Amino acid sequence: MRLGEFTRRYWPEVLLTVTVVVPWLSLLALGIVWLWQGGHVWRWAIAAAALSLLAWPLSSTVRRRANKEARVALGDVAEPSRGWTTVERDAWDEVHKIADATEPFAFTEFEPFLSSAKTTIDAVARHFHPHAHTAWAQFSLPEAFLLSERLARDLRHKALEVIPGVRAIKLSHLLWVQRQSDQYGETAQAGWRVGFGLWRMARALLHPLQAAGQETSGLFVEKTATVLSYRLRANATRLFVLEVGRAAIDLYSGRLALSDAEMRAARERDMSVAAEPAAPVRIVLMGQVSAGKSSLVNALAQEIRCAVGPVPTTSEATEYRLSAEGHPPVTVVDMPGLVESTERASGLLAQAARADLMIWVASATQPARAIDRKSLDEFRAWVNSELARRAPAVILALTHIDELRPAAEWAPPYDVSAPLARKARAIRAAMDATARALDLAVDRIVPIAMPPGAPPYNIDALWARIALELDEAKLVQLDRIRLGHGGISLRELAYQVGRAGRMVVRGLIDSP
């Protein structure tokens, strides 16, 4: 569409624009004429240049403050997601470094955006695939489609929010602008540069002093305008880098891959019993032989679920679904007692890999902690090697506190934070000794007792501690299920092959 045709077609819009703009342009022109006739142009130019000199120190101050406050100004946007793992948080720190080093965009060129996005994506990809030759390409086609879908949806939402009249903008309009830019853009820019250069030369020849003042003033005005927009551009640039980085972390960590249906299917494969849309938190009980794990299951369930006795009663991992009144539903795994066996240790780590929360059960009357410490250290080493997933928290249930000296005394409750009675001091001493032996914080130890023929003691405190860890345990569960989803499902593969075969056959039948 040529200029004449455009004017004829959109003459009301053109006329409206002229009626609004011309009065202001005429005011500017009349002001210049007035200054010229009165011989005040040179005074105005010198005064403007002098005042513009103040912009130099102010501009440096604005830049320093903007760079310092840019991260704070974005608030929660700059914070890592609560459910991220160590690798994801390390990648987020790298994204922040890139954001700090990126100069604010001028928003007149597209190349800086592409370059910054590429740098950010490459840095995140290297965190998740450090040994891959093409780290940036380590994602599946469904993930690429899903990312495109989400980006398109977000862009549509933002466009409807901030672009005036966006619903009336058609692709044909954008194509027309592009054609005009391709056809006349370079010529128009060259003409403007030549014309403005000739005007500056003529002005310098006719009135050198005034020209010098105006050139100086124009330089500082342009500089001031750039500085005044610096904070906005710095925040917008950092926001762009962070959003690209967050999307890249979701993509390369695999968080983007699973839909709700896929998560339910992954839960069904993960759980040994039929899964629900929101599977209960899986709690694994570990500890030495006869530490009281089975008795603890009965106490948590408020009913008899496990056989208990003076000899070991659990020979293999046994799962129980608990739904005690007033407490959240959980799945508790009662593990065999810890012994010095390499085979048993590997089985314990396999169960720990499927745990959302660990409860280590230790008897207050058992002074030998070597087996507990060795198994805990093996668990911690496994945690340190699994940086791509969240580790289950560890709570220690200190059992048999009723048997501590004086053994004949048992009159709960006991205040272990400020122990006065002999029994309370003995319980606190056992807690401190266990914490030192197992390298645990004392506040992660809950003393409990399950004396025969008497109600269990302090189980509510253990339930309260479980409730405090529940949100974190759910994040561990989601991470575990998400990472366990990897690989090809034979069932899914067979379904895909069948669908593809039917499409091919239908195409052959329908073809002439």
Which of 99-113, 117-131, 234-248, 384-398 bottoms out in mean pLDDT, i.e. has the lowest?
99-113
**Position with higher pLDDT, 238 vs 275:** 238
Give the model's pLDDT for residue 174. Answer: 75
Give every strand in the sheet of 330-334, ordered side by side.
318-322, 330-334, 281-287, 357-363, 393-399, 445-447
Split at pLDDT 50, 70, 90, the class of 216 is: low
Split at pLDDT 50, 70, 90, the class of 274 is: very low
Give the model's pLDDT for residue 481. Answer: 77
Residue 378 and residue 392: Cα distance in Å, rounded?
14
Highest mean pLDDT of the ranges 1-10, 49-58, 475-484: 475-484
Percent of the chain, pLDDT > 70?
A: 64
pLDDT tops 70 at residue 53:
no
Give the model's pLDDT for residue 52. Answer: 60
pLDDT tops 90 at residue 446:
yes
Residue 241 and residue 105: Cα distance in Å, rounded?
11
Residue 267 and residue 484: Cα distance in Å, rounded?
9
Give the model's pLDDT for residue 332. Answer: 94
Check if the beta carbon of residue 451 is closer than 8 Å to that of residue 295: no
**Position with higher pLDDT, 124 vs 161:** 124
Model-level pTM?
0.58
Q: What is the mean pLDDT of the chain?
A: 77
pLDDT tops 70 at residue 360:
yes
**Position with higher pLDDT, 426 vs 53:** 426
pLDDT tops 70 at residue 410:
yes
Check if the beta carbon of residue 63 is closer than 8 Å to that of residue 227: yes
Check if the beta carbon of residue 423 is closer than 8 Å to that of residue 404: yes
Over the stretch 75-106, which tens digit does the pLDDT of each residue have?
667 888 877 888 888 899 999 889 888 888 77
* Spatial CA neighbour of 428 closest among 436, 254, 341, 171: 436
Check if the beta carbon of residue 234 is closer than 8 Å to that of residue 66: yes
Which of 157-161, 203-207, 257-261, 474-478 bottoms out in mean pLDDT, i.e. has the lowest?
257-261
**Position with higher pLDDT, 151 vs 489:** 151
**Position with higher pLDDT, 304 vs 349:** 349
Over the stretch 8-49, which tens digit does the pLDDT of each residue have?
665 665 666 666 566 666 666 677 677 777 777 667 777 666
Give the model's pLDDT for residue 306. Answer: 59
Highest mean pLDDT of the ranges 237-246, 264-273, 336-345: 237-246
Tell me the average pLDDT across 42-60: 64
Percent of the chain, pLDDT > 90?
A: 26
Question: What domains lie within the chain, and their CATH numbers?
Answer: 1-38 (no CATH), 53-253 (no CATH), 271-483 (3.40.50.300)
Give the model's pLDDT for residue 276. Answer: 42
* Spatial CA neighbour of 375 closest among 288, 433, 435: 288
Residue 471 and residue 475: Cα distance in Å, rounded?
7
